[in-house]
């Protein structure tokens, strides 16, 4: 064993003693000790009252051992502010193990095998500001578990365990979970398997200023999630959001920093998703799958000084989305930009490459010139002029076509009245060669104009005339035909 002594800081180098007893701290200088590092000493157990003489100790590091804790092993450490128990394979904590540490502010329990964290353990540490629970096997966090002002609940993935439940903290943040944390300022629940947040899970945390939920399984944000009037920093990166719905970040008037990067399933942002974020300065949406942002996603426009939309699937940006020219740090690279005149009119200077139209594939966006007023409108303009010319020609030809004149007879009202009334008569006085035929006797003819055109009376039949001839030279034939032999 070797003690390295430097004023009030002592480091005990590794010597392989499995049990640390009270006799190790009988020296007179231990009464002035402020910092003690016992890391990587293969300690297996801490006996009761082992540190009882270290009244001035402020920092105790027990990292990298395999220690098991006794209920009164920390008795006497009334001045201790920082305690590190990481990497000790701790699976169980005695309920009252920290009751002597009334002034403890920082507690590191990361990289252990803790299955639960009873509320009674933390309730004995009223001054706790920082709690590190990374890479344990916590199954859930019960209601009213935390009683500190500054709480860090980090829990990272543990590569030593297979399956989908490598992490302990998973499921939902229940309603009223932090109701006792009225003074909590920082809450870090990153690197867990949280899939949902109850509407009132964060209710009552009026002093919360930093919230970290990165690397979870969140897929939605309820509308009443954020009753946090003083929240300044919100980290939701590396989650499973598919879309940001309307009012996803309502009731966050003090929010300045919002991180949504690495949301691999995030495809669309709906109208008024970022509503009433009047203090937002920093927004990161990079490394996602965004292909659509509603023109009214920001309502009203926040005072952004940093916006990162790089490494998405965007092909264009609505002109009314944001005042891009007033955002000093704007990142839009590595998207599928369709370099239309509408996009080029925004006058954006970024390191993007055109994917379409075909004539501009591979052209850096910075090298493009603004479209002229007629660019892209020439062909439609020519087609419109040709169509207009054809319409005018057809109209002129239609107006010049002569109108057929009607007969003057159709202008007589009396004739029209007669023509509209049909009469059928039979004229027996008509004398014509056809009038005496069998067909004509039984026929009738329509005479609609008889009232308008006067009838003509047939002339009388002339008397038959027989020529006077000599008696000896002729023969009167009364019938015919006559055979030639009788002549």
Mean pLDDT, residues 157-171: 36
pLDDT at 473: 58
pLDDT at 189: 77
Mean pLDDT, residues 153-162: 34
pLDDT > 90 in the chain, percent: 24
Whether the predicted pLDDT of 6 surpasses 50: no
Residue, of 299 and 8, whose pLDDT is higher: 299
Closest CA to 88 of 130, 135, 56, 53: 135
Whether the predicted pLDDT of 320 surpasses 80: yes
CATH class of 1-128: alpha beta
pLDDT at 58: 94
Distances (CA, A) of 253 to 19, 205, 233, 304: 54, 15, 12, 14
Distances (CA, A) of 197 to 182, 223, 251, 287, 455: 19, 10, 16, 24, 108
Residue 467 to residue 469: CA distance in whole angstroms: 6
Whether the predicted pLDDT of 71 surpasses 70: yes
Closest CA to 263 of 296, 220, 302: 220
pLDDT > 70 in the chain, percent: 62
pLDDT confidence tier of residue 421, bands split at 50, 70 and 90: low
CA atoms within 13 A on the CB side of 41: 25
Q: What is the mean pLDDT of the chain?
A: 75
Whether the predicted pLDDT of 35 surpasses 50: yes
Could you give the 3-state DSSP secondary structure of residue 82? strand
Residue 74 to residue 47: CA distance in whole angstroms: 9
- Is there a contact between 292 and 316 (Cβ–Cβ < 8 Å)? no
- Is there a contact between 167 and 191 (Cβ–Cβ < 8 Å)? yes
Mean pLDDT, residues 294-321: 91
Whether the predicted pLDDT of 99 surpasses 50: yes
Closest CA to 332 of 316, 321, 356: 316
Residue 324 to residue 347: CA distance in whole angstroms: 9
pLDDT at 160: 28
Highest mean pLDDT among 106-115, 133-142, 337-346: 106-115
Mean pLDDT, residues 191-197: 78
- The ranges assigned to domains in the chain are 1-128
187, β-bridge pairs: 151, 211
Residues in the chain: 487
pLDDT at 346: 73
Pair of tokens at residue 447: 């005479």
Residue, of 366 and 249, whose pLDDT is higher: 249
Q: Strand 9-12 vs strand 3-6: parallel, antiparallel, or unpaired?
A: antiparallel
Whether the predicted pLDDT of 98 surpasses 60: yes
pLDDT at 236: 95
């Amino acid at each position: 064993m070797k003690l390295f002594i430097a004023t009030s800081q002592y480091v005990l180098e590794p010597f392989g003693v499995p049990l640390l007893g009270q006799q190790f701290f009988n020296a007179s200088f231990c009464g002035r000790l402020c910092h003690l590092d016992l890391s990587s000493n293969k300690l297996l157990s801490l006996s009761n009252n082992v540190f009882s003489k270290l009244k001035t100790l402020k920092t105790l590091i027990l990292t990298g051992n395999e220690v098991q804790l006794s209920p009164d092993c920390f008795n006497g450490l009334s001045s201790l502010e920082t305690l590190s128990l990481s990497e000790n394979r701790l699976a169980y904590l005695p309920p009252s193990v920290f009751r002597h540490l009334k002034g403890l502010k920082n507690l590191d329990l990361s990289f252990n095998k803790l299955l639960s964290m009873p509320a009674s353990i933390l309730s004995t540490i009223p001054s706790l500001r920082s709690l590190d629970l990374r890479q344990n096997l916590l199954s859930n966090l019960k209601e009213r578990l935390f009683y500190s002002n500054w709480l860090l609940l980090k829990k990272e993935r543990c590569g030593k365990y297979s399956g989908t439940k490598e992490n302990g903290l998973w499921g939902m943040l229940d309603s009223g979970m932090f109701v006792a944390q009225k003074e909590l300022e920082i809450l870090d629940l990153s690197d867990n398997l949280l899939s949902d947040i109850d509407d009132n899970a964060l209710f009552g945390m009026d002093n919360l200023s930093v919230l970290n939920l990165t690397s979870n399984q969140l897929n939605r944000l309820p509308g009443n999630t954020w009753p946090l009037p003083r929240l300044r920093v919100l980290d939701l990166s590396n989650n499973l959001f598919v879309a940001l719905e309307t009012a996803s970040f309502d009731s966050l008037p003090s929010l300045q920093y919002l991180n949504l990067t690495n949301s691999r399933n995030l495809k669309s942002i709906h109208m008024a998703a970022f509503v009433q974020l009047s203090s937002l300065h920093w927004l990161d949406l990079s490394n996602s799958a965004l292909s659509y942002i509603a023109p009214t996603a920001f309502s009203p426009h926040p005072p952004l000084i940093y916006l990162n939309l790089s490494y998405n699937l965007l092909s264009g940006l609505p002109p009314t989305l944001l005042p891009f020219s007033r955002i000093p740090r704007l990142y839009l690279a590595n998207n599928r930009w369709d370099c239309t005149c509408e996009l080029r009119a925004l006058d954006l200077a970024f390191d993007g490459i055109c994917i379409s139209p075909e004539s501009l594939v591979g052209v850096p966006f910075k090298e493009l010139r603004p479209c002229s007023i007629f660019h892209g409108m020439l062909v439609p303009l020519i087609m419109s002029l040709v169509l207009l010319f054809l319409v005018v020609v057809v109209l002129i030809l239609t107006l010049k076509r002569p109108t057929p004149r009607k007969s003057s007879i159709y202008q007589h009202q009396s004739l029209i009245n007669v023509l509209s009334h049909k009469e059928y008569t039979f004229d027996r006085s008509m004398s014509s060669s056809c009038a005496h035929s069998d067909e004509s006797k039984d026929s009738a003819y329509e005479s609609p104009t008889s009232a308008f055109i006067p009838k003509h009376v047939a002339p009388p039949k002339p008397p038959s005339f027989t020529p006077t001839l000599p008696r000896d030279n002729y023969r009167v034939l009364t019938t015919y035909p006559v055979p030639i032999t009788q002549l």
